[in-house]
Amino acid sequence: MDILLLLLLICKLLFSLFSQISYASDTITLLNPLHDNGSTLVSQGGTFELGFFSSGSSGNRYVGIWYKNIVVRTVVWVANRDHPVKDNSSRMVVQQDESLVLIGQNQSQILWSTNVSTKVSNPFVQLVDNGNLVIQDGDDNKDDTFLWQSFDYPCDTLLQGMKLGWDSKTGLNRRLIAWKSWDDPSSGDFTWGVELGSNPDIVMWKGNVEYFRTGPYTGNMFNGVYGPTNNPLYYYTFFNTKDEVYFQYTLRNSSVITIIVMNQTLYLRNRLTWIPEAKTWTIYQSLPRDSCDVYNTCGPNGNCVIAGSPICECLEGFVPKSPQQWNAMDWREGCVRSEDWSCGVKDKDGFRKFGSMKLPNTTHSWVNQSMTLEECKSKCLKNCSCTAYSNLDTRDGGSGCSIWGGDLYDLRVIESGQDLYVRVATSDTDGKHGKRKKIILATSVIASLLLVMLLAFCIYMTRKRYKGKTKPRIPMEDKDKCKQEDLELPFFYLVTIVDATNNFSIENKLGEGGFGPVYKGILVDGQEIAIKRLSRSSGQGLKEFRNEVILCAKLQHRNLVKVIGYCMEGDEKMLLYEYMPNKSLDLFLFDFGLARMCGSDQAEGSTSIIVGTHGYMAPEYAIDGLFSTKSDVFSFGVLLLEIVSGKKNRVFTYQAHNHNLIDHAWRLWKEGTPEKLIDACLENSCNIFEVIRFIQISLLCLQHHPDDRPNMTSVIVMLTSENVLPEPKEPGFLIRKFSKEGEQSSNKQTCSSINEVTVSLLDAR
């Protein structure tokens, strides 16, 4: 009797011990379900943890996977995202027929299930150390065959090793879908997945509207996404076979934690990197990067040039479909081929080459992997509906053929882009017109000879003049009295930079930006520098470059990468920055928002708009180079005024007066008729008093003295409440203008600042 009792006791002890161990383990078995009482699964290496969690104030319970050792709870996968459990009575069990199910208090109440159709006798569920939750058959000795895996049903996060894309045999489409909001895991309307077609692309959707495409894969990268291909953190692969089409990334150093997350709030696909020292996630890369990245910004056959003003232009050989809308910056209708074109007609049919292009929507394009570019061209010429062609693969000088028919959608100029040949009316395309060609050749040879001589002469003169100086003066094109202006930045000779970068060698390349590559260099005195080399295709002209140099010289801030100097010789335009050791310059630039103002062209490509868009600059920043958070408030004020009035500050002139939008708004405010400013399209649909309130808020933001301007937090309060607002004081630029009339001073300081006011207001980029 006693012995029996003892045996029973030992049994019970062993059982409870066994079950205790099983809770600290990484598996759910038939006997050991997972209860919603604080127990979790932990993967073998201790990286991931699976368990029940609540999100937000709803108290809904979800089963999810998160990083075990990251203090900021980062849920990377949710099982029942669209089937929340209302209480803590549910449990996760593995069943012989349905495998993994989440059941409620009632045995029959199935809340969520994995829908595995194969029946196995001994299934078990395991959380693998890469974050994958898998169902395996315990009687099956093969380790790598999963009956089901969570990696096939991603939520909003792409982990290393997960596949984004299609399994064509089963029809499985793995897509990322953002959370509805930061605390609601249910499926939002922001998705990202592989778009099948002759030349697959990875596409983001905002509801039903296409939002961004990476461009097709051209052998070693996506045509529309720049960034260093030899990234230090990870590399990615794109598989495109008959059975599978998917994107995947692999970390180069597994101790670095980086993930791709869809953010519904910002409509961005972010790559985040965990910084253990700071205990935060930082954004390493965001897509889309700028307005040109947004799908089809410039309409069919329109070309988006981010440095352009405006950003949209028709491809050469095309004209706006509806000029009136186009000129009003409504680019949706796009462009049509000019009427000169005529299919197959000599002198009226040919191709024009566009360099550094993001290839158009490829869904209905036609491809052949073995054709040469010449064959591609003749194939396109033979078919009157063919509108463009390009290489399919850009490696080793290019191979294969892509052909487009119909309108070309979503074009932009981008550093990672390639040559695109677009069919237009042109007379100098092929070699049939021998005589004419010869004449043209002769003329162009003579012309280029003359040009070279002229250039050589110019360079000679320039060098002679600048010899010995470190701060040369660059002639200004402005018509005012200050014919010359000190750019205030040291000038460097091209040879110095060639030496410093070992002739721009690939080892010295730090990365690739929107306007060109960035190199690391070492000057003769040992100083390490970073050099941004503006590519010729960047579309950034001399004028924009000069603007940037002037601004960089003025924009010295402790959070900014310091600009050391510039180089401008012949075709070469370069900016020299101080080199940031330890971190990649890209990484550094993404950490500091302000750095974008000056430096982040390398990484984002959107800076020049900000830097160059003078209409938004606060006076103290434009004139004295002082920059503070209140300068942002000023810019916000301009923006708000533009929204309300539907007019651009820098192009707006009010009839007879030479006023800009701010002056005009201020005058109307003083006259007590601010409602005159409101855009006619708004008038019928808005609450006039609310809009007048907005005008008042923007005038408060635009006040001359930075201390008078509210901070952004107060602006938000003002915008959302109905408090009584203070009376605005005179806005920025007015005072400066009046004092200019009054002063009549001739010292250099005034001279140059007036000059800059002129630049600021009138110098359209």
CA dihedral (731, 733, 737, 740) positive or negative: positive
Q: Vertex 255, ends 251 and 258: CA angle to 5°?
A: 50
Q: C-beta of 297: minimal distance to ligand NAG in Å? A: 13
Q: C-beta of 37: minimal distance to ligand NAG in Å? A: 4
Residues within window 160-179 making contact with ligand NAG, judged by CB under 6 A: 179
Residues within window 91-130 making contact with ligand NAG, judged by CB under 6 A: 106, 108-109, 113-115
Using the minimum distance from each CB to ligand NAG, give the nearer residue, 111 or 552.
Answer: 111
> Which of 36-44, 218-226, 333-341, 458-466 is the region at the interface with ligand NAG (rule: CB under 6 A)?
36-44
The correct pick among 145, 385, 427, 739 for binding ligand NAG (CB under 6 A) is: 385
Q: C-beta of 366: minimal distance to ligand NAG in Å? A: 6
d(CA 638, CA 706): 14
Longest dimension (CA), the chain: 118
d(CA 95, CA 484): 82
The yes or no reply on residue 255 touching ligand NAG (CB under 6 A) is: yes
Q: Which residues contact 466 (CB under 8 A, 6 or more apart)?
A: 472, 491
Using the minimum distance from each CB to ligand NAG, give the nearer residue, 261 or 617.
Answer: 261
The yes or no reply on residue 375 touching ligand NAG (CB under 6 A) is: yes
Using the minimum distance from each CB to ligand NAG, give the nearer residue, 17 or 717.
Answer: 17
Residues within window 705-734 making contact with ligand NAG, judged by CB under 6 A: none
CB 151 within 8 A of CB 162: yes
The yes or no reply on residue 493 touching ligand NAG (CB under 6 A) is: no
The yes or no reply on residue 21 touching ligand NAG (CB under 6 A) is: no
Residues within window 208-247 making contact with ligand NAG, judged by CB under 6 A: 210, 213
Using the minimum distance from each CB to ligand NAG, give the nearer residue, 262 or 551.
Answer: 262
The correct pick among 55, 90, 361, 426 for binding ligand NAG (CB under 6 A) is: 361
End-to-end CA distance of the chain: 98
Closest to 127 in 3D by CA, of 30, 28, 29, 54: 28
SS3 content of the chain, % helix, strand, coil (to 5): 30, 30, 45
Q: Which parts of 383-509 fold into alpha helices (H)?
A: 434-466, 494-500
Residues within window 180-199 making contact with ligand NAG, judged by CB under 6 A: 182, 195
Beta strand spans in 242-294 (E): 244-251, 258-263, 268-275, 280-287
Q: C-beta of 203: minimal distance to ligand NAG in Å? A: 5
Using the minimum distance from each CB to ligand NAG, give the nearer residue, 370 or 721.
Answer: 370
Closest to 219 in 3D by CA, of 396, 367, 409, 410: 396
**Strand pairing category for 411-413 and 302-304:** parallel
DSSP string over 415-427: TT-EEEEEEE--S
Tokens 């029946």 sit at which residue?
Answer: 119
d(CA 222, CA 333): 27
Provide the token pair at 256: 């670095």
Burial of 482 (0-12, 13-18, 19+ CB in 10 A): middle
Using the minimum distance from each CB to ligand NAG, give the nearer residue, 37 or 673.
Answer: 37
Q: C-beta of 753: minimal distance to ligand NAG in Å? A: 38
Exposure string of 627-654, with b = 16+ CB inside 10 Å and e = fewer, is beebbbbbbbbbebbbebbebbbbebbe
Q: C-beta of 520: minimal distance to ligand NAG in Å? A: 19
Using the minimum distance from each CB to ligand NAG, give the nearer residue, 270 or 698.
Answer: 270
Give the CB-nearest residue to ligand NAG: 405
The yes or no reply on residue 261 touching ligand NAG (CB under 6 A) is: yes
Using the minimum distance from each CB to ligand NAG, give the nearer residue, 18 or 738.
Answer: 18
> Which of 128-136, 164-172, 378-386, 704-712 is the region at the interface with ligand NAG (rule: CB under 6 A)?
378-386
Q: C-beta of 7: minimal distance to ligand NAG in Å? A: 22
Q: C-beta of 738: minimal distance to ligand NAG in Å? A: 42
- At residue 750, φ and ψ (nearest 5 deg) are -65, -45
What one-character DSSP code corresponds to residue 245? E
Neighbouring CB atoms inside 10 A of 501's CB total 20
> Which of 260-268, 332-340, 565-573, 641-649 is the region at the interface with ligand NAG (rule: CB under 6 A)?
260-268
d(CA 570, CA 444): 19
Q: C-beta of 216: minimal distance to ligand NAG in Å? A: 8
> Which of 358-366, 433-441, 537-545, 641-649 is the region at the interface with ligand NAG (rule: CB under 6 A)?
358-366
What one-character DSSP code corresponds to residue 384? T
d(CA 47, CA 133): 13
The correct pick among 371, 564, 568, 597 for binding ligand NAG (CB under 6 A) is: 371
d(CA 159, CA 150): 11
Closest to 361 in 3D by CA, of 320, 421, 317, 411: 411
CB 334 within 8 A of CB 299: yes
Assign 286 to helix, strand or coil: strand
The correct pick among 15, 18, 37, 430 for binding ligand NAG (CB under 6 A) is: 37
The correct pick among 1, 3, 38, 721 for binding ligand NAG (CB under 6 A) is: 38
Encoded amino acid at 733, one letter: F
Q: C-beta of 385: minimal distance to ligand NAG in Å? A: 4
The contact mask relative to ligand NAG for 266-305 (x = CB under 6 A, - = no) is x---------------------------------------
Q: C-beta of 246: minimal distance to ligand NAG in Å? A: 15
Using the minimum distance from each CB to ligand NAG, give the nearer residue, 191 or 606.
Answer: 191
CA dihedral (226, 227, 228, 229) positive or negative: negative
Using the minimum distance from each CB to ligand NAG, give the nearer residue, 361 or 540.
Answer: 361
Q: C-beta of 191: minimal distance to ligand NAG in Å? A: 12
Footprint on this chain of ligand NAG (rule: CB under 6 A): 19, 23, 35, 37-39, 88, 106, 108-109, 113-115, 179, 182, 195, 201, 203, 210, 213, 253, 255-256, 261, 263, 265-266, 361-363, 366, 368, 370-371, 375, 383, 385-386, 405, 409
